[in-house]
Amino acid sequence: MTRYKRERLAMAVECTVIEHYRHGALEDALLKGLAAAGKDVNNLTPDDLAPADEFHIGGRQATIDFAAEFKPSADTHWLDIGSGLGGPSRYVAHTYHCRIIGVDLSEEYVGVAGSLSRRVGLGGKVSYRQASALALPFENNTFDGAYMQHVGMNIADKAKLFGEVHRVLKPGGIFAIYDVMRGNDGIFSYPVPWASAAETNFVEAPATYRAQLAAEGFEVVKERNRRDFAMDLFSALQAKVIQAGGSSKFGLQIVMGANTSQKVGNMISMIERGTVGPVEMICRRIEVNPHAENM
């Protein structure tokens, strides 16, 4: 396939990804959900938002565990790739006293992330821009570190993605990944939280990530399979819902829409069967010699 065709295809995929995540009136729906759950929407904290603004397996707890693996130093500058509604960036910036820029394809998510951050008083620490992870709008060597959570599943060209992250990181910078990855060749059921159909699902095995990361100049310093963490959490959540006689009025169902239970049900079944599972990889930028093959 020519480069032109590859780029046209990637742009078409990005339009379908934006459509998959589109809500239309998300901020309003979130505020209504918060009010229904008994929160004062004019006096919110980052923790109040956590049930709905951490859009990945394990929610806030997963972000706490993930960030503890790379612990940004105070006053460093980090990039959140596919920042969603901004829950992870608000938690990381607030906890580790660093600055974060999030990029996301969805204009709607970027707007909501900024607005929620201002509501909880973190507008000076985090900011968001609409952009593709495949064309990051930053100079070379800009960030001390970068991370992404549950984004790689929407991106076919992992080499281009990792190459872009490598370019904008400073030498030695950390790139942390928490994605859903392939476990076996089992059949895929749709919809799932990140894709309505196969055309925007690019889940890959950890070995593929490792190979592409190495080719783009990253060393994987730690890898952790989060399947058991996820399964324990799903059981605990199910028990909580049964005990409470239903789901809380403020949760990710507001973001995922009417077919939330189908999306989550398909994902959990595939995790149970080992077809997919959440995996963390902590990587470090190393230098690559682009002429090495010709020497």
State the residues that interact with ligand SAM by CB under 6 A: 14, 17, 21, 54-56, 82-84, 87-88, 103-106, 109, 132-134, 149-151, 154-155, 194
CB of 211 to ligand SAM, least distance (A): 20
- Joined tokens for residue 114: 């900024």
CB of 142 to ligand SAM, least distance (A): 17
Looking at beta carbons only, is 60 or 285 nearer to ligand SAM?
A: 60
What are residue 278's DSSP bridge partners?
180
Total Cβ atoms within 10 A of residue 156: 18
User: Closest distance between ligand SAM and the C-beta of residue 113, in Å?
Assistant: 9
Instruction: Find where tokens 């790739």 sit.
Output: 81
Least Cβ distance, residue 245 to ligand SAM (angstroms): 28
What are the residue ranges of helices labelled H in 22-178?
26-36, 46-53, 59-67, 87-96, 107-119, 158-168
3-class SS of residue 166: helix
CA torsion angle 42 43 47 52 (round to 10): -10
Q: Which residue is nearest to ligand SAM (CB)?
A: 84
Whichever of 100 and 103 has its CB closer to ligand SAM, that residue is 103
When the beta carbons of 47 and 75 are compared against ligand SAM, the nearer one is: 47
For the record, the structure tokens of 119 come out as: 């509501």
Q: Considering beta carbons, is residue 54 or 280 the nearer one to ligand SAM?
A: 54
Nearer to ligand SAM, 178 or 245 (CB): 178
Residue 6 neighbours by CB distance under 10 Å: 13
Q: How far is the CB of 132 from ligand SAM (least distance, A)?
A: 4
